[in-house]
Amino acid sequence: MPNLSSRLTGIPIDTRSGAESELLVVRDGVLVTEQVTRLLSTHKTVTVSVAPNASYPDVPINVNDSDVAYQIFVDGNWPDNEELTPNNGYLGWLAGTDFTAGSGFWVKVDLGAEFTVTEVIARGLSDTGPAIYLPFDFNVEHSTDDSSYSAFGSAVDSNSTTGLFLWRLEASGSETARYLRFNFDHATSVRWIHLAQMEVFGS
């Protein structure tokens, strides 16, 4: 009879009830639990410091309804390269109109409980033709009580393209947090920031 334990080594076989960030795995024939990194932010509560501009975008949710507002940011989906239009899955803010350039605005994700957060990602659209730009400044803060916030990691700009493209900004670290606050800003007015998704990973 084949030795199944050797074939199952390191293969997740079940999710432990009540601990979604742990998996039961067989290692060297022994059943053990392991911590795994996963997406924590899907369908969690999202709030913003400043309401987005009514002109962008045309999305199938009422962004003024607190029961459904901003779920576009944590639904696990974002536009791809075939959907690069400002009115397709984005919310937009205009510097000088919706927020003060140099002061910025934030998008906050409430995970509902404390987790060890290891990575956060923000995704959005740049289209310099209609003055939609990659944020001039981006950083992330974390908190356990939604009162006292500290910086989370160092933000990395993974984009070097100008024109029309999807951008991705990220920060990595290892912090216990329930609340993640994504801060965005432009240095000058009459520039848009268009956001599509906020992702929080951890265990």
Mean of pLDDT values over 6-12 = 36
DSSP β-bridge partners for residue 35 = 22
Range of the domain at 19: 4-36
pLDDT in tens, 156-203: 776 655 667 888 899 999 999 999 999 999 989 999 998 988 999 999
- Which residues, in sequence order, are CB contacts of 88 under 8 Å at separation 6+? 57, 79
Identify whether residues 32 and 43 lie together within a single domain: no
- Which residues, in sequence order, are CB contacts of 3 under 8 Å at separation 6+? none
Residue whose tokens read 């100008």: 162
Strands (DSSP E) contained in the chain are 11-15, 22-27, 30-35, 38-39, 45-48, 91-94, 105-127, 137-143, 150-151, 154-157, 164-185, 192-202
Q: What's the rounded Cα separation, in Å, for the pair 117 and 172?
A: 9
Residue whose tokens read 């960030």: 21
Identify whether residues 158 and 197 lie together within a single domain: yes
Identify whether residues 29 and 61 lie together within a single domain: no
Residue predicted with more confidence, 13 or 47: 47
Query: Is residue 43 over pLDDT 50?
Result: yes
pLDDT in tens, 64-113: 444 456 777 887 776 655 455 555 667 899 999 999 999 999 999 999 99
Residue predicted with more confidence, 21 or 7: 21
Identify whether residues 10 and 81 lie together within a single domain: no
User: What is residue 191's predicted lDDT score, i.e. its pLDDT?
Assistant: 92
Identify whether residues 103 and 78 lie together within a single domain: yes
Identify whether residues 44 and 32 lie together within a single domain: no
User: What is residue 90's predicted lDDT score, i.e. its pLDDT?
Assistant: 79
Identify whether residues 12 and 43 lie together within a single domain: no
pLDDT in tens, 126-152: 888 888 888 989 999 999 999 999 999
Distances from the Cα of 101 to the Cα of 61, 80, 142, 148, 168, angstroms:
27, 28, 23, 24, 21
Q: What is the domain-level CATH number for residue 58?
A: 2.60.120.260
Mean of pLDDT values over 43-71 = 69
Instruction: State how many domains the chain has.
Output: 2
